[in-house]
Amino acid sequence: MTRDRQAVGVWIGGEEHMIRSPADPEYTKACAELVDTRLTEVRALSGSIDGNRAAILAALSIADELLQARADIERLRRDYAKGALDAAQRLDADLGAS
pLDDT tens by residue, the chain, 98 residues: 557 899 999 999 999 999 999 999 999 999 999 999 999 999 999 888 888 999 999 999 999 999 999 999 999 999 999 999 999 999 988 888 76
Domain that residue 29 falls in: 6-72
Neighbouring CB atoms inside 10 A of 54's CB total: 19
Q: What is the pLDDT of residue 98?
A: 64
Is the overall model pTM greater than 0.85, yes or no? no
Q: Helix, strand, coil proportions of the chain in percent (round to 5)?
A: 70, 15, 15
Does the residue 19 lie in any domain? yes
Q: What is the pLDDT of residue 96?
A: 82
CB 38 within 8 A of CB 61: yes
Does the residue 44 lie in any domain? yes
Q: What is the pLDDT of residue 44?
A: 93
Total domains in the fold of the chain: 1
Does the residue 21 lie in any domain? yes
